Structure 1
Amino acid sequence: MIFGMDHSLHLPTVMIVHALITLISTVVTIYMWLRNRDSRILPMLVAAGLAGCTAMFLHSARSSLPLFLSSGVGLGLGVFAVGLYWQAVVVFEGGKASLTKASIGLIVWTALWLMPVVYQSVELRTTILGLLIAGYCFLTAEDILRKAKREPLPSRSIAAVANLIRGAVWLAPVPLSLFVGPAYAADGTTAPWFAYIVLANSMMIVLTLVALLMLAKERDELRYRLASERDPLTNLANRRTFVTSACKMLQEQEGASLLLLDIDHFKVVNDTHGHAAGDQVLLAFSRTIEQRMPKGWLFARIGGEEFACLMPRMSAQKAVAVAENLRLAVADMLLPASSPLRVTVSIGVSEAKERGADLDELLATADAALYRAKADGRNCVRLYEPVALLAETGNTLALAVEQPRRRLARMRRRAG
């Protein structure tokens, strides 16, 4: 039986190895902190590591140090280290660190340890220690899992499971000390199972730290990817993302309609009221339109004041009705009370009736309809109707289509 192997693991040695592993991890974390001094998470991990190292060095010298120092202070610092790690995760997930919450376990441990009934009972001390550390581990796992839907990073499950396992490891001493034997016998010898608990905890400390660093790396990669795919001001899809996604959508969907939206007289807004006012208009406009976009539609900012919306399986007539509602919503758009601006939008509509339509063609025809909307006085919606437009405008239509076609071809080359 495993618990009969009294000499298989030497507990003080295991604790020193544990402390050294934690120390090495802490040194690496300090190096990372020195290279990223703005981080709010790394200093907390450094503090947690230093507290954990001190705890293990103190408790490994239990036979030569006073019990108050080796167990009271030593194990209390161990609880505090886990609390600090929990608060580092809270900060990582966007919360505010609380030294009070990190210290609650240490305060509870100190208060109970000073009670004679706890001081004199190894089983009671072991139970309290296990419950406190396990509680912090489970709180850490809960915080990691809470953001899983909003930020589905691949390593979230690994980090959560690692903390759950670490919590389970520290719950194990509760029944073991009560039903198998105390961690420390009256003659000072240690129970074999306690050495295995300490060893397992050493491995889980490394795993939980690595998992957190993996999460941080994945978050940075996600931010870089989103930065390349999103417009920095409005957080809408940018031109490159729109071209890639729209081409795929047109290949997969049976027909679609495209809206090209252009904010009227936007240059005048920038020239008269400044670029800050122009940014306010762009943000308000983006939110107004985006709030009316159902799932499955592709809405993007493709130029300065130019936006595009691709609507799969949408007929031209329905698309015109949607565009008219959007135009009215923009006209009623709320801007800051101090702003004298009144914003309107011109919208061009075109339709692709079959699967596999060419995006350049769709963009060019929608831009021709937008050109017509601006020629008709702006603040209106126009549908691309080649026969009707040709009869009315003659060769102007060819110019109206060819110019945006060339411009959009250049746009697509830059996006690719």
Structure 2
Amino acid sequence: MDHTLHLPTIMIVHALITFISTVVTIYMWSRNRGSRILPLLVAAGIAACAAMLLHSARNVLPLFLSSGIGLGLGALAVGFYWQAVVAFEGGKVSLAKASAGTAIWTALLLTPVFHQSIEVRTTVLGLIVAGYCFLTAREILERARVEPLPSRSIAALANIIRGTIWLAPAPLSLFVGPAYAADGSTAPWFAYVVLSNSMMIVLSLVALLMLAKERDELRYRLASERDPLTNLANRRTFVAEAKAALGQEGGTSLLLLDIDHFKIVNDTHGHAAGDQVLIAFSRAIERRMPKGWLFARLGGEEFACLLPRVGVQKALALAEELRLAVADMAISPLSPLQVTVSIGVAEANASGADLDMLLASADAALYRAKADGRNCVRLCEPAVLLDDTAATLALAVGKPGRSAPRIRRRGK
């Protein structure tokens, strides 16, 4: 019983896969006309379909059309896919680079040795297409550290395998036998190469779509976790990460920062200037934050910085450094106005490991800083927590018998 793969059937399946993939990408492009990736994938699909039509008619068409233009379009399809990945990674698309392989192929086809030797043509085409595949894999892997999407390794591996498959026909033709014999028959190994290539085409396309989906999911998640103006962690993210950090061993300190007289900035210079102050303030603090510390915008002009495994003395020194850095900020539209910050400091060892208590302690210290004239740093000890703050905490945890306290408002 002959277990050899039936090449015509595989070629039909390969053609159907290419055609269906092209139709799907055309439909996706019609729904998203602003995409930079989809038009290149559509161009790749159309070029691949045209290449298959021309090459399948190699017995009736001249060699220049079937192998010259046909296989050249096949190389162009892979070049377009490479540039689609470049576009996905935010690079500059180059149609010249995408078509360089086809130009080389067409030029070589005019030479006698290239025109007469199928082994030479097989080797050159394999090198061109494999080069595109390896360049695509490199493009995907180079961004792995910046954007570690889960499917990057799959997408890169698919293109590496695809490139390796395209290199295989050259040694197979040399040591096993040519893909096309003189009588028009094909070598048994050629069917396996075509089938493997079809599988990698599907996998590489699906992997790219998976990367796009994962990027969208990451952006949505970051949008829910970050403050859109300053790109800092928002209150929800701060609370979640701070609770996890408080569960670790070692002392933890908290800085609560509030920009002084921020309402005056908005009223005098407008909200655009106020936004500029918030951004400049965030960057000034962020530059001085060691890795592993949590800096977040809680809302308005209020910010928080959680310092895991940092004692209160070091936290006070850092707070003073941050206060001076803010006072030295130069904001061009607001040069006549000096921006200052008041900072309240609290330590988890003194306040307990409860985040609400730690925030209340830092807030009490911040209230003292505002009352003492602003632009200063104050530390809260357990004894300075006011009765209304304790009542607020009791109400928050659901202790009975406590009435709701009057909310204290501090000056800005």
TM-score by length of structure 1 reads 0.91
- Cα shift at 1:190: 2.0
Two-structure CA RMSD over aligned residues (Å): 2.3
More contact order relative to length (CA 8 Å, sep ≥ 6): 1
Q: Distance in 2 between matches of 1:282 and 1:95?
A: 31
- 1:291 matched to 2:287? The reply is yes
Q: Distance in 2 between matches of 1:24 and 1:356?
A: 62
Paired letter, 2:183: D
Q: Which residue is equivalent to 1:25?
A: 21
Q: Which residue is equivalent to 2:367?
A: 371
Instruction: Name the SS of the counterpart of 2:144 in structure 1.
Output: coil
Q: After TM superposition, what 4+ stretches of structure 1 lie above 6 angstroms from structure 2?
A: 403-410
Q: Which residue is equivalent to 1:385?
A: 381
Q: Which of the residues 11, 17, 21 maps onto 1:15?
A: 11
- 1:254 matched to 2:243? The reply is no
- Cα shift at 1:35: 1.6
1:250/1:355 contact within 8 Å kept: no
Q: Which residue is equivalent to 2:236?
A: 240
How is 1:184-203 mapped onto 2 (pairs within 5 angstroms)? 184-203=180-199
Q: Which of the residues 110, 127, 130 maps onto 1:114?
A: 110
Residues paired across the two proteins, number: 399
1:346/1:381 contact within 8 Å kept: yes
- 1:177 matched to 2:166? The reply is no
Q: Which residue is equivalent to 1:393?
A: none
2:273/2:333 contact within 8 Å kept: no
- 1:47 matched to 2:43? The reply is yes
Q: Which residue is equivalent to 1:394?
A: none
1:363/1:408 contact within 8 Å kept: no
- CA deviation profile, 1:334-383 (whole Å, cap 9, x unmatched): 32367544211100001111796111111011111111111111111011
Q: Which residue is equivalent to 2:331?
A: 335
Q: Which of the residues 270, 273, 297 maps onto 2:266?
A: 270
1:368/1:401 contact within 8 Å kept: no
2:179/2:186 contact within 8 Å kept: yes
Q: Distance in 2 between matches of 1:407 and 1:94?
A: 47
Q: Which residue is equivalent to 2:387?
A: 398
Q: 1:123 to 1:408 in 2, by over 3 A?
A: farther
Indicate the percent of aligned positions where both proteins have the same amino acid. Answer: 75
Gaps spanning 5+ residues in structure 1: where?
Answer: 391-396, 411-416
1:252/1:355 contact within 8 Å kept: no
- CA deviation profile, 1:190-233 (whole Å, cap 9, x unmatched): 22222221121111100100011111111111111111111111
With 75-84 and 171-180 compared, the bigger mean Cα shift is at 171-180
Q: Which residue is equivalent to 2:72?
A: 76
- Cα shift at 1:61: 1.2
How is 1:82-97 mapped onto 2 (pairs within 5 angstroms)? 82-97=78-93
With 94-103 and 329-338 compared, the bigger mean Cα shift is at 329-338
Q: Distance in 1 between matches of 2:306 and 2:6?
A: 68
1:255/1:355 contact within 8 Å kept: no
Instruction: Name the SS of the counterpart of 1:347 in structure 2.
Output: strand
1:41/1:88 contact within 8 Å kept: yes
Q: Which residue is equivalent to 2:130?
A: 134
With 75-84 and 107-116 compared, the bigger mean Cα shift is at 107-116
Paired letter, 1:398: D
Paired letter, 2:357: E
Q: Distance in 2 between matches of 1:404 and 1:284?
A: 34
- Cα shift at 1:309: 0.5
Q: Distance in 2 between matches of 1:368 and 1:145?
A: 49
Instruction: Name the SS of the counterpart of 2:255 in structure 1.
Output: strand
With 352-361 and 204-213 compared, the bigger mean Cα shift is at 352-361
Q: Which residue is equivalent to 1:301?
A: 297
Q: 1:408 to 1:32 in 2, by over 3 A?
A: farther
Q: Which residue is equivalent to 1:413?
A: none
Q: Distance in 2 between matches of 1:10 and 1:314?
A: 70
Q: Distance in 2 between matches of 1:276 and 1:337?
A: 10
Q: Which residue is equivalent to 1:414?
A: none
Q: Which residue is equivalent to 1:315?
A: 311
1:262/1:305 contact within 8 Å kept: yes
Q: Distance in 2 between matches of 1:80 and 1:305?
A: 54
Q: Distance in 2 between matches of 1:96 and 1:408?
A: 55
Q: Distance in 1 between matches of 2:351 and 2:129?
A: 59
How is 1:209-224 mapped onto 2 (pairs within 5 angstroms)? 209-224=205-220
Q: 1:52 to 1:351 in 2, by over 3 A?
A: same
Q: 1:328 to 1:118 in 2, by over 3 A?
A: same
Q: Which residue is equivalent to 1:101?
A: 97
2:350/2:381 contact within 8 Å kept: no
Q: 1:261 to 1:174 in 2, by over 3 A?
A: same
Paired letter, 2:190: F
Paired letter, 2:234: N
1:16/1:57 contact within 8 Å kept: no
2:351/2:357 contact within 8 Å kept: no
- Cα shift at 1:386: 4.6
Q: Distance in 2 between matches of 1:338 and 1:366?
A: 29
- 1:64 matched to 2:93? The reply is no
TM-score by length of structure 2 reads 0.92
Q: Which residue is equivalent to 1:231?
A: 227
Q: Which residue is equivalent to 2:159?
A: 163
Gaps spanning 5+ residues in structure 2: where?
Answer: 399-403, 405-412
1:361/1:405 contact within 8 Å kept: no
- 1:208 matched to 2:204? The reply is yes
1:255/1:313 contact within 8 Å kept: yes
Q: 1:355 to 1:361 in 2, by over 3 A?
A: closer
- CA deviation profile, 1:165-190 (whole Å, cap 9, x unmatched): 00000000111122222222223222
